[in-house]
Structure formats: structure tokens, C-alpha cells
Amino acid sequence: MATETTRRCPRCGASYAPPARFCVRDGSPLVEVATMDFPRGGTAAPNGAAAVPVPAPAPASALSGSDDAELTRRYATLTNQVLDHRYQVIRKLGEGGMSYVYQAHELDGGRTVAVKILIPRLSRDPGSVERLKREAQMAMRLEHPNVCPVLRYGQTEDAMLYLVMPYLAGEPLNDHETRRGPYPVDEGVDLLVQICHGLQHAHDLGIIHRDLKPENVMLVPDTTRPKGFRAVVMDFGLAKERWAGPEVQKLTQTGIVLGTPEFMSPEQIRGRPLDGRSDVYALAVLAFEMFTGQLPFAGKSAQETMLARLRGQPAGIRTLRHDFPARLDAALLRALALQADERYGSMEEFAHALESAASPGVFARLFGR
């Protein structure tokens, strides 16, 4: 029976007809798939059930469409099973277009970890597999309290690909924002400076995040911090080394944009080479949303928002919050400059600007100066 093909966003699941090449919702590169339903979800094993090994499916390279759908159901319901003879799966933490994330117990080391599993239909895509390996190789080099490293990259005998990371008992920044509303200046600056330090560590290793957004920042309770939270930058899955070789360059084909449109720098939208100043821009967009609950560029669609960013500077936060410190507003506007050369040259420079621009009282309370 003949099948038609469509292109699907691996992040949000939206479908497009050729010749569309990336998702207008979130900027993800589209994956060409046969037209069929890919069931998600399923019934997890009852609480307290005995741990059983993950069922052994056929090798990924030999999967048909129906096998792929069956594997998707299995990967979505791994609770109470043992993964790769190493990890007792406790519960599902979340899922996205490319992966499922579970909390698990490490059988040998005794640690509680988070395990990210690549969905089966993408494990058959060489580009996705190569990107996952790159994520692991880069994130294993990260060692900073404000970034989440990868502890292990694994592949089971039945071709299941997974990453193991520290389990962080916290809350994503976007959920925290939704629950409590715009941040006070002192709390917001504290978190932003922490994020700057974490990203500077990554930049020093030649790693650019490329997909910084509130969903990728975890707030972990920490009584040693002035405001009680440690900000941890997550998911370097779209990260890329500045000096990547040809095999990595192929992952970002001409005209393909990786990242989330609302937070992309102008040069990322244009598909140009990126450096750490692109992350500076994205963090400034994140900061604008933290302090106002809005994005700095308006648009009825992701495409309109992207175009607005290519046309000039946004209005300052003081147009929305009249009590917002003028110097802090100016610092964020500089970080949102259209041209990368007009922004801060590094995350450390941006952090210093944020600290200095906060009002004297806030600065003294935050940093003891």
C-alpha cells in the first residue's frame, strides 16, 4: 500500500506539508515521516509493582511504522521497570517532541537521577542521534552549580538511546513565573546573575546553549542563596561548539533554524554563525518576560515575532513598569541590541552590568556590598 509523507515537528508534534523545513511554532527542524498516527501515553504499571526489565524490541534499523508506534507506547510507560540493567525507573517527569524524561534510582551507585530517552522514530534518524551524542559529549564537560551536566550516555541492546543527568528537585522557571507573576527586581537580578555565571562556564568551554528559555531553567531550593533558589540551566540539546567540525555543521543545514522563535537572536533567525552574544540576547528576552510577564517583541504568530526582532529595538521595561530602575532597563536594552557587536561581549560582562544597574539598596542586600 502506498504511503504519503508529511513533515512533523519533533518538539511539538505539529505536521506540515512539504516543502516546509522548520516549525513556525518553535523553530525546530521538521522530520519527514510516513503519514500515520503515532500513539502516545499508555497505562503505567501500578504503584508498588515489582520491577521488570524493559521489553526488548527489534533493532531500530529494522523497525516498520507499526513497530515504531508500539515502541513509542512502550517508551512512554517505563515506570517500575529496570532500564539497561542499571536504573530502576520511578516515575515519568515529562515528555516532549523528542524525548521522555523519567526519575530513576541508580542500582549500583544509589543515586537518584533523571533519564532522558530519545523517542524511537528519532533514534532511526542519523541527525537526531548525532545531535544527542553531541549533547552528551559537551554536557559531560560541564561542571558548575548553575548548569546541569550529563552523567552518562547509554544505548541498550535493543537500540534505546538515553542520557542520565542529576535529578533536581525543583520547579521550571516558566511554572514559577506563571504561578507568581512578574518578579521583583531583587529576586530577578539574583537569578539572572546566576544564569550568567553558568552560561559563562559553558562559553568558556566553547559551548553555546542556543535554546535558552524559561522552560530550560530549573529553580532548585537553596538556603545558601539570598533569595532561596539556585538557578540551573538545563537541556543543552541544541548546544553547539563554536569550533565544531564538518560533521556537526551538517546538523544545521542552510536555512534550518534551531531554537525557540520567541527567544532567538536576530543572527540565529537569519541562520548565521553564533557566539556567546546570542545567548546574551536570549537571556535578555527571558529577563524581560520575568519582569513584565510579556515578551519584548509582539506578534500574532512566531513568524511575526521573528520579523519584529529583525526590524529594531523593543520598547523598554519602563514603558510597562514605571518604577523599574532606569539603569537596569538600559542594561537589558543593550543586551537586546539588533547587532551582536552592540551587546555585552560576554556573560560575565552582562552579569556585572545587571549587578551595577540594580538600585544601591538591592545591590547591597543581594551581594553584601
- Triad 240, 343, 195: Cα angle to 5°: 55
Residue the block writes with cell 523553530? 27
β-strands 81-83, 52-53 pairing: parallel
- Triad 38, 27, 161: Cα angle to 5°: 50
Contact call for residues 278 and 210 (beta carbons, < 8 A): yes
Rounded-to-integer distance, Cα 135 and Cα 149, Å: 10
Residue 339 amino acid letter: Q
Residue 238 amino acid letter: L
Residue 103 amino acid letter: Q
Contact call for residues 101 and 93 (beta carbons, < 8 A): yes
For residue 215 the three cell numbers come to 522552560
Tell me the angle at which helices 347-357 and 185-204 cross, rounded to the nearest 10 degrees. Answer: 160
Active-site residue (options: 84, 211, 235, 329): 211
Residue the block writes with cell 518576560? 289
Rg of the chain (C-alpha set): 21
Contact call for residues 211 and 258 (beta carbons, < 8 A): yes
Q: What are the strands, taking DSSP E only, across the chain?
A: 5-8, 15-16, 31-34, 52-53, 81-83, 87-95, 99-106, 112-118, 152-155, 161-166, 171-172, 207-208, 217-221, 229-233, 240-241
Cis peptide before 10 (omega within 30 of 0): no
CB atoms within 10 A of CB 289: 21
* Catalytic residue flag (residue 211): yes
Active site positions, annotated: 211
